[in-house]
Amino acid sequence: MTIRSRVEQDRRKTSRVMARLTCHFTLDGVSHEAVIIDMSLKGAYLSSKILPPNNTTITVFVNPPAVKKETKFTGTVIRGAWAMSEHGKLGRFGVRFGATPLDLIGLISTLNS
């Protein structure tokens, strides 16, 4: 008989950190407001009033209070779905980063502490 822990393991190579950071992203040259729900060195999960199509490239800009300058990263939307919230219908989508900017490493370190 096997006893399994009720705590589910994070199976990602790099764990995600809860963020809840306001940001904006550009899609086809148009800026949209969003919230970064969580993030890791490889990607992030965002919530917005729009849902970008899968396989599109977006650029995300975030200016967290703990960091002195705006952090910018580019990524590809890998999955997404519509969800209902207190604020109405919102798009929730995952973004895989093309490269990890050094500023992002510092931001995740700050969020993790």
Q: What is the pLDDT of residue 61?
A: 95
- pLDDT confidence band for 15 (50 / 70 / 90): confident
Check residue 9 and report its DSSP letter: P
* DSSP state letters, 47-107: EESS-PPTT-EEEEEE--TTSSS-EEEEEEEEEEEEEEETTEEEEEEEEEESS--HHHHHH
Architecture of the structural domain at 17-112: Beta Barrel (2.40)
- pLDDT of 43-73, one tens digit each? 999 999 999 999 999 999 998 876 778 889 9
pLDDT at 14 over 80: no
pTM here is 0.82
Q: Residue 54's closest CA among 104, 18, 96?
A: 96
